[in-house]
A and B are shown apart, each in its own frame.
Chain A
């Protein structure tokens, strides 16, 4: 098993791969901006969570930004995305606004789910983003289903189904893998392996000693291992998997090695017990995806230090502004608890008006 803080294997330069050669400097700086946006947003979330502006759980994406940004950057019109409960990074990466996301966390009516879903349950179907799912691995058969729907409708696209390393031991995930291979579904399962399923290391939860993605072999499925700290590599390898899905209708299991700086959630009281502070520091110093990407762009001379600093300031301000927006937004009313339960009732159709739907007094 890899120490999650060590580079998983020798670094190969993926900047020359075809999908990366297409990038212009604006694209590259855009990725930098998006990663910084996510980090600044998450830091603002932490601040306001600790000020009791949010309830429930807060699973931060800090440290993993390159994964969502790189994958989302490859999405075309008919590519769809679904993920688990650590979902803010993917939401921002597909273009959801900080305002709607922050307002959701504040439990406000202006939130992406009108304050009904919370941190774990963001959705934006208009951006091909299908959540935000709270139960470990519960989204994996749904990702399969998005792929099934694409294939059935003859659309040139694929489903991108994210999961954490803790999800790989759930039965639903294995059932989904088998179905994907058996039915030849255009889906890419993407394990974001941050090394810990809550407080349990991979060594203590997985009987399989090699990389997690290799489990795909049991389903005659293609797989690959990806160094998540390198945005070029994530793009290059994910692109191959997406093309396999779109052109050959064959699924792939990718394992992207990454790291989370904070606990499983902010409420994770043991976040600094099951791993050492040195481990966290080492990752921040040597493997931080934003720091590495910045260094890369500076070396390529497509970004200047001052410009990077400006981007950072802007993103910080955006995050603060989103908190202000959320703070000023109205809360949902008690009446709204009963809205959005049934489509037919909400649309006031004949079906929605036939028989009793709700059983309050």
Chain B
């Protein structure tokens, strides 16, 4: 199969959906003429023009709200936050408007928007630019959240998100944009990954490593080390979608392995892994041979120092160490 960079897989998804549906409009800061701060939208303005790919001023509350409003009339805006960290500027629009308007209207209306951008630490940009809000937004019923780890999932989930009739908050990762992976050829048909569907990225019998986003790569690397150095067979479950969440795949994996370490770049308090841990104890309690453990980002605002930011975040060494405490 051909290989694509994560950013190019996303661009291909956006390009295909722009072609498929005239209601798809891309908007955000520097997405058009500048080609995107992280080059995800590179070439799309040149190809699709001002009507479909729109540069906005630095006005997150304004343009996110504009997208929500436009979606009420059937547009499908795909809005880029240059960083998901800038969500705080548009919080009212993201939560009260996008997240609640369907419910408050008694189901009369829906909000088919996608808000996308990178949400990660690890690039030494300090506390204001390193937030991982996937758990935060998944806590609001009405919102959907996904966080793909691979180029194929990035493409498939993006296409599914754009077609979804509810608001989908799509969390990418600047550390993944340059990673490469196999992506099905468009000639083989639409590549869609449904929201709410996890994937076992590596099978194993002794422990389940459950992760999303870049943490999946850490879990896979840790699984390799565990197999080679410790003779431990780890299964890696990639959540892909945070809400809806694929409870069956999580629970079935833990029933098989009887142990779980959750790898999560969120902070521990109410991170995504908090919810996963609850599901495991509710639905696989009798199968557990050890407490569920977690590897999260160390519980402080993001530190800048390049010398230790890597230690604040989940990394393969921390995953291996945590696994060894319960196997």
| Structural contact, A359 and B30, CB atoms closer than 8 A | no
A358-B299, A359-B268 are contacts. A117–B126 as well, Cβ < 8 Å?
A: yes
Closest to A171 in B: B61
A82 CB → nearest B CB, Å: 14
| Structural contact, B57 and A205, CB atoms closer than 8 A | yes
| Contact partners of A341 in chain B: CB under 8 A | 300-301
| Contact partners of A117 in chain B: CB under 8 A | 126-127, 304
| Contact partners of B300 in chain A: CB under 8 A | 337-338, 341, 358
| Structural contact, A334 and B55, CB atoms closer than 8 A | no
Q: Which of these binds chain B: A16-24, A132-140, A277-285? A: A132-140
Count chain A residues whose beta carbon lies closer than 8 angstroms to a beta carbon of B: 48
| Structural contact, B29 and A332, CB atoms closer than 8 A | no
Q: Is A211 an interface residue (CB 8 A)?
A: no
Q: Is B136 an interface residue (CB 8 A)?
A: no
Q: Mark out the residues of chain B between 59 and 103 whose CB falls within 8 Å of any chain A CB in the assembled complex.
A: 59-62, 85-86, 88-89
The docked-state distance in angstroms from the alpha carbon of A163 to that of B298 is: 32
| Structural contact, A115 and B305, CB atoms closer than 8 A | yes
Which of the residues B88, B298, B307 comes within 8 Å of A115, measured between beta carbons? Answer: B307
| Structural contact, A54 and B57, CB atoms closer than 8 A | no
The docked-state distance in angstroms from the alpha carbon of A336 to that of B60 is: 34
Closest to A204 in B: B55
| Contact partners of B34 in chain A: CB under 8 A | 198-200, 270, 274
| Structural contact, B298 and A338, CB atoms closer than 8 A | yes
| Contact partners of B128 in chain A: CB under 8 A | 120-121, 133-135, 138
| Contact partners of B86 in chain A: CB under 8 A | 135
| Structural contact, A169 and B58, CB atoms closer than 8 A | yes
Q: Is B33 an interface residue (CB 8 A)?
A: yes
A116-B305, A360-B299 are contacts. A337–B124 as well, Cβ < 8 Å?
A: no
A198-B34, A199-B34, A360-B298 are contacts. A136–B126 as well, Cβ < 8 Å?
A: no
Which of the residues B30, B294, B298, B304 comes within 8 Å of A55, measured between beta carbons? Answer: B304
| Contact partners of B298 in chain A: CB under 8 A | 334, 337-338, 360
| Contact partners of B307 in chain A: CB under 8 A | 107-108, 115, 331-332
| Structural contact, A361 and B126, CB atoms closer than 8 A | no
Q: Is A166 an interface residue (CB 8 A)?
A: yes
Closest to A198 in B: B30
Q: Mark out the residues of chain A between 25 and 64 whose CB falls within 8 Å of any chain B CB in the assembled complex.
A: 54-57
The docked-state distance in angstroms from the alpha carbon of A171 to that of B85 is: 17
Q: Is A97 an interface residue (CB 8 A)?
A: no
Q: Is A311 an interface residue (CB 8 A)?
A: no
B260 CB → nearest A CB, Å: 14
Closest to A333 in B: B308
Q: Is A313 an interface residue (CB 8 A)?
A: no
| Structural contact, B303 and A169, CB atoms closer than 8 A | no
Q: Residues 285-320 of chain B: 1 if any A CB is under 8 Å from the residue's CB, otherwise 0? A: 000000001101011110111111101100000000
The docked-state distance in angstroms from the alpha carbon of A86 to that of B29 is: 19
Q: Is A172 an interface residue (CB 8 A)?
A: yes
A198-B34, A360-B298 are contacts. A56–B125 as well, Cβ < 8 Å?
A: yes
The docked-state distance in angstroms from the alpha carbon of A287 to that of B300 is: 45
Which of the residues B62, B123, B311, B312 comes within 8 Å of A171, measured between beta carbons? Answer: B62
The docked-state distance in angstroms from the alpha carbon of A297 to that of B33 is: 43
Q: Mark out the residues of chain A between 198 and 223 whose CB falls within 8 Å of any chain B CB in the assembled complex.
A: 198-200, 204-206
Which of the residues B85, B294, B311 comes within 8 Å of A337, measured between beta carbons? Answer: B311
The docked-state distance in angstroms from the alpha carbon of A56 to that of B268 is: 24
A121-B128, A341-B300, A359-B268 are contacts. A332–B308 as well, Cβ < 8 Å?
A: yes
| Structural contact, A331 and B308, CB atoms closer than 8 A | yes
Closest to B295 in A: A361
The docked-state distance in angstroms from the alpha carbon of A113 to that of B127 is: 12
B218 CB → nearest A CB, Å: 17
| Contact partners of B301 in chain A: CB under 8 A | 116, 341
| Contact partners of B52 in chain A: CB under 8 A | none
| Structural contact, A118 and B304, CB atoms closer than 8 A | yes
Q: Residues 96-136 of chain A: 1 if any B CB is under 8 Å from the residue's CB, otherwise 0? A: 00000000100110000101111111000000000001111
| Contact partners of A200 in chain B: CB under 8 A | 29-30, 33-34, 55, 57
| Structural contact, B304 and A116, CB atoms closer than 8 A | yes
The docked-state distance in angstroms from the alpha carbon of A115 to that of B124 is: 10
Closest to B129 in A: A134
Q: Is A167 an interface residue (CB 8 A)?
A: yes
| Structural contact, B30 and A360, CB atoms closer than 8 A | no
Which of the residues A115, A119, A136 comes within 8 Å of B303, measured between beta carbons? Answer: A115
Most chain A beta-carbon contacts within 10 A, residue among B29, B129, B301, B305: B305
| Structural contact, A359 and B304, CB atoms closer than 8 A | no
| Contact partners of B30 in chain A: CB under 8 A | 198-200
The docked-state distance in angstroms from the alpha carbon of A275 to that of B60 is: 25
The docked-state distance in angstroms from the alpha carbon of A149 to that of B106 is: 45
Q: Mark out the residues of chain B between 12 and 45 whose CB falls within 8 Å of any chain A CB in the assembled complex.
A: 29-30, 33-35, 37
B73 CB → nearest A CB, Å: 23
Q: List 23 A-B contacts (CB under 8 A).
A: A55-B305, A56-B125, A56-B306, A57-B125, A104-B304, A107-B307, A116-B301, A116-B305, A118-B305, A134-B129, A136-B89, A166-B57, A169-B59, A171-B62, A199-B30, A200-B55, A206-B57, A334-B298, A337-B303, A337-B312, A338-B299, A358-B299, A359-B268
A118-B125, A118-B126, A169-B62 given. 10 additional CB < 8 A pairs? A55-B125, A107-B304, A115-B307, A118-B304, A135-B85, A138-B89, A138-B128, A169-B58, A337-B300, A359-B267
Interface residues of A (CB under 8 A from B): 54-57, 104, 107-108, 113, 115-121, 133-138, 166-167, 169-172, 197-200, 204-206, 270, 274, 331-334, 336-338, 341, 358-361
